[in-house]
Amino acid sequence: MTSYSPLIRRLLVCSLTIVVSRAITSPLLTLFVSDKLGLNQQDVGLLLGIAVFVATLLSLYGGYIIDRFEKRRLLILAMLSSAVGLVLLTFAENLYLTTVTLIVTETASALFLIGSKAILSDNLPMGQRAKAFSLSYTLTNIGYAVGPMFGVLIASRFTSAPFLIAAAIAFSSIFLMIGIPKDPARAPASGQVQSFLKTLITLKNDRTLIMFTGGCLLSTVVHGRFTFYLSQYLLVTSDSRHTMQIMAALLACNAISVILLQYQIGRLLKREHLRQWIVAGTGLFILGLIGFSLAESLVSWCVAMFIFTLGEIIIYPAEFLFVDTLAPEDLRGSYYGAQNLAALGGAVSPVICGFLLMHTPAPTMFYAMSVLAAVGGLLCFISGRGHTAKLMH
């Protein structure tokens, strides 16, 4: 990280603290909301799903806002919103107020993600962006490796403490952002500010973006919430004790692999060969899924997880780098916001897998996910054909 400018280093450290803030509460949120509101787990799942769905749609407008206003202030607003939302959750008594609060915190998280990537793109040459995206994702996984354990530990003493500590971390991160210089003034290419409706029309008319986002959505069904469908599968095919043992090993394998290899592999990505990298990542997803369907021992589960994680390590920076090269300079945030709609794939993944597990033999789920991964990879490959040709000339 020392090779980056102070601005980039501050932004990356701030990204880590925000992830830790979210990760501290991640294993406790469903139980906390359930206890506070007296909801069953199905209703809590529906509540969280609605919040994520609405926040993902709002992120499209968030990307537009990032292009129009000063990014640093928007990121500070996002962090302040997260801090306030986490504090308000500790007073959760009303279903509607809790839903609004969850939507605000989820939207703030999406806004920070889009804005931070836009700042990275604005302040790094093209050749360094893949490495920066990979480093950011590595820090994200470090945060999610440490945060949940810390949250569970302190929750045993005081149930609201993780949310208050997470809010304090999010608020403290604001002071890191204050040290980031303001964006240089930049006039839009057309000489006037483009309305949100015209921006949507521009995005709609970009067939490459639409097809690529569709491919990313199908890919996100596979890797966005893989812990959910793996635990669903294990609960159907074995007992809860065995499920916990396998999932603990798989989560550790995934986190360690990403932390050790993400930056090393990400730095190899070149924008001229993104289609080939995406095909390689998709192939690794499919091999990992087939490995899951055949796994019988802990070792075989971990081997399949390692292969699957290699696909994740490749796909994540490749997708962002592709959108970065596709987006016009004055619409970068809007393009990131549009591509962020692929996160909806993670929201529908548990629903699809739950249906398949109920109505088909359990391993069928992995083969269906393999098909989705293949179609998603094909859409991404086709969408990049003309764009890659432009880059090479």
Is a pLDDT exceeding 50 seen at residue 393? no
- Within a 13 Å sphere around the CA of 16, how many CA atoms are in the beta-carbon half? 17
Q: Read off the pLDDT of residues 133-158 as tens digits, 9 standing for 90 and up.
A: 878 878 887 887 778 778 877 877 78
Q: How far apart are CA 119 and CA 186, in angstroms?
A: 14
- The answer to whether the CB of 208 falls within 8 A of the CB of 384 is yes
Reported as type and span, the H/E element at residue 138 is helix 126-155
Domain boundaries, the chain: 1-180, 195-393
pLDDT value at residue 79: 93
pLDDT value at residue 325: 85
Is a pLDDT exceeding 90 seen at residue 308? yes
Q: What percent of the chain has pLDDT over 90?
A: 24
Averaged pLDDT for residues 118-123: 84
**pLDDT grade, residue 192 (50/70/90)?**
low
Residue 203 burial (CB < 10 Å; 0-12/13-18/19+)? buried
Q: How far apart are CA 342 and CA 225, in angstroms?
A: 12
**pLDDT grade, residue 263 (50/70/90)?**
confident
Q: Read off the pLDDT of residues 214-223 as tens digits, 9 standing for 90 and up.
A: 999 999 999 8
Across the chain, mean pLDDT equals 84
* Amino acid code (one letter) for 378: L
pLDDT value at residue 294: 94
Q: Which CATH architecture has domain 195-393?
A: Up-down Bundle (1.20)
* Amino acid code (one letter) for 381: F
Packing angle, helices 41-68 and 332-339, rounded to 10: 160
- b/e per residue 216-246 (b: at least 16 CB within 10 A): bbbbbbbbbbbebbbbbbbeeeeeeeebeeb
* Amino acid code (one letter) for 32: F
Domain 1-180 sits in CATH at 1.20.1250.20
Q: Read off the pLDDT of residues 342-390 as tens digits, 9 standing for 90 and up.
A: 888 877 887 788 888 888 998 999 999 999 999 999 999 998 776 555 5
- Joined together, the tokens standing for residue 240 give 């809860």
**pLDDT grade, residue 1 (50/70/90)?**
low
